[in-house]
Structure 1
C-alpha cells in the first residue's frame, strides 16, 4: 500500500542522517551548457531554480520551492545526471522534454530522467505557479533502486495523491528547523518507495547509456560554443567526422529533438536572458545570438515562449 510508504520508521532519524553522511555522496556537478547564468552547476540557476532553494551538501537531494509569476516561470533547456521530480501545487506550468511538452495544472507532476533534456516556461503571461522540485542524486537512486532505470508517471490517481501529499509536507518544512534534514530525508525515502513500486522500468544498458550521455555532452558543448555563428548540421557533422545523414539521425536519437530545433532553442534561451536585462535592442539581440534576421528571431521566440520578444521584454519591466 502506498500509505505505508509515508510512514518511514526503519531507523531513528539521527542514525539515518549520519548513515547517509558516511555512505551517500551528491552527484558531482556537471557542466551545463545552456545558460550563461550558471555554466558550472548541475542545475541551471534561472529565477525558476533560484526560488527559495535549500542545498545541503551532505544530503543526496536538493529542494527548490517555486512561487513565480508570468515569464519568471522559466528555465532554459538543460540536463543533469540527477533525477528530477517536479510537482505543481497551484497554477500552471509547461514542461518541455525533447520534442514533447506537457501543460501541468494543480496536482500534476513530472519525472525527468538522468541526462534527459528539459525546460519549463509559463503557459500564458498571466500564470502564477507554486510548486516544488526534488533533484535526487543519481548515485543515491542507484544505491537503493538499482542502475539503468527509467522513471515515468503511471497515471495512477492514488500515486498522484501520495506524491502531492509528500510534496506539500516538504514545501512547508522550515529549512531553519534543526530537524529539517531528518524530515527531508524521511520524506525522500517515502518518495523512493513510491518510485520503486509504481514508477520505474528497465532503462538502456549501461554501455549504451554511457555512450548516449557522452554524445549528448559533446554535441551540446559544441553548439554552446558556436550557436552565435552561422552553424549548419552539415558543418557540425563534418567537425565530428560523421556522414550528414547519419549525424542528423544520431543527433535526434541522442537529444530527442532535431538539430535545427535544438539550435533555435539554445539561441532563444540566451536571447531571453539578454532581454531580461533590458539593456539590448531586439535587433542587436537577434544577431548577437546567431539568428539570421529579426523576423526569424521573432518567429522562433514566439513559438517557444508564446509571445513576441518585445512583449517578453515589456513584461520584465
Structure 2
C-alpha cells in the first residue's frame, strides 16, 4: 500500500514528528507511518534521507548537491540518467550524482524502489581534489546485479534504511558508520570520475542559488545569458564560467532542463496541444521541444502521452510513499541484510 503526499519546496511532507539530538549536533526528522526518513548534521553540512515509493510517470529533476541511490524492489523501471536510458529490474542498483538530470517511469503497477539521498559533502573526505564525483559504472543489470559489490551496496543502504526506521538511541551514529562503509564500496569498486567543482565559499554558493532561482522564475520567457548577467551584476563570462564549474552544465543546457521539466509535467496532467505546451514553457517551437524530448527520453511526446495511465500520474511536487510496514519493502530489507545476499 502507498500514499500520495505533497511537497513543500523540494521536500515532501506528511504527518511529521521532530526529534532534535542536541548533544550530537544533528536533527532527525521522521515521517510517521510512511517509509520516509531524514537525518541532518548541520555543523557538517550533511543530510541523509531515505524513502520507499511507488514509481509513477516521468518527473524530470536533479539535485544540486545530493547523490541519489536507487534500488528497485519490485516491477520494472525505465530510468533516464543524463542522456542514458536503461531498464532496471528487481534488485538493480543505480547511482545518480548531483546536478545530473534524471527521471524514472514505472513500466507496470506496483513498481517500487528504495531511494537513498546523501549530501555531496559526505564524499569529500575520500578525495584530495574537491568537487562532485560521478560513478558511471554504478549501474547493475542482469549480468552484474548479483556481484558482491552490488550486494554490499544493497546491504549498507538497507542497514541505513532500517536504522532510520527503528530510530533507536544510537541510530545517528550507526547511520554515519553505514554511510561511510557504503562510500568506501563506491570509491573502491566503481571508478569515480570528477564532474565539476563544488564551491567551498558561501559567496559563490549564494550567487549560484540566486541565478538558479532567477531561471526558475523566468524560464518561460526569452531568457539569455546577458539577462542573467545583468540580474547578478556580473559580466557574462563570469556567469557562464560559474554555471559550468558549479552546476556542471552550461546556462543554455540548464535552461532547457527547466523548460523540459515543466513541459513534461503539463504533458502528463493536461490535455493541451503539444505546440501550446512547448510555447508556454519557453521552447521556441514544437520542433525544438520534440528534439529535446527525443534526446532525453528516447521517444516523442505523443508516444509518451499514449503510455500514460490516468491512475498512475502524479504532479511534480508529489510522491507516492509506501507505508513503513509494506510487506514487499520489509521482505526485501530482510533479504538484503542477510550475509551474502
Fold shared by both chains (TM-score > 0.5): yes
Greater helix share, 1 or 2? 1
Counterpart secondary structure, 1:110: strand
Q: Does 1:277 align with 2:269?
A: yes
- For residues 143 and 239 of structure 1, what CA distance do their matches in structure 2 show? 32
Q: CA deviation at 1:155?
A: 5.8
Q: Tell me if structure 1 keeps the 8 A contact 2:69–2:93.
A: no
Question: What does residue range 53-72 of structure 1 map to in structure 2 within 5 Å?
Answer: 53-55=35-37, 61-68=48-55, 72=57
Greater strand share, 1 or 2? 2
Q: CA deviation at 1:184?
A: 6.5
Counterpart residue number, 1:74: 59
Aligned length: 265
Partner deviation per Cα, 1:211-266 (whole Å, 9 max, x = no partner) = 54333312211111111111122332333344434433332222211222211110
| Pairing partner for 1:256 from 234, 248, 253 | 248
Q: CA deviation at 1:127?
A: 10
Counterpart residue number, 2:329: none
Q: Which moved more, 1:154-163 or 1:186-195?
A: 154-163
Q: Aligned pair in 2 of structure 1 residues 267, 205: CA closer, same or farther (>3 Å)?
A: closer
Q: Does 1:132 align with 2:94?
A: no
- For residues 120 and 282 of structure 2, what CA distance do their matches in structure 1 show? 35
Counterpart secondary structure, 1:63: strand
Counterpart residue number, 1:302: 294
Counterpart residue number, 1:87: 71
Q: Does 1:110 align with 2:99?
A: no
Counterpart residue number, 2:14: none
Q: CA deviation at 1:194?
A: 3.3
Question: What does residue range 239-254 of structure 1 map to in structure 2 within 5 Å?
Answer: 239-254=231-246
Q: Aligned pair in 2 of structure 1 residues 184, 96: CA closer, same or farther (>3 Å)?
A: farther
Q: Tell me if structure 1 keeps the 8 A contact 2:80–2:297.
A: no
- For residues 285 and 236 of structure 2, what CA distance do their matches in structure 1 show? 25
- For residues 246 and 146 of structure 1, what CA distance do their matches in structure 2 show? 27
| Pairing partner for 1:192 from 180, 205, 220 | 180
- For residues 107 and 186 of structure 2, what CA distance do their matches in structure 1 show? 35
Q: Does 1:292 align with 2:284?
A: yes
- For residues 144 and 246 of structure 1, what CA distance do their matches in structure 2 show? 29
- For residues 101 and 211 of structure 1, what CA distance do their matches in structure 2 show? 34
Q: CA deviation at 1:93?
A: 4.4
Q: Which structure has more RCO (C-alpha within 8 Å, separation ≥ 6)?
A: 2
Root mean square deviation of aligned Cα: 4.5
Q: Tell me if structure 2 keeps the 8 A contact 1:66–1:131.
A: yes
Q: CA deviation at 1:278?
A: 2.0
Q: Aligned pair in 2 of structure 1 residues 296, 146: CA closer, same or farther (>3 Å)?
A: closer
Counterpart residue number, 1:229: 221
Counterpart residue number, 1:14: none
TM-score by length of 1: 0.63
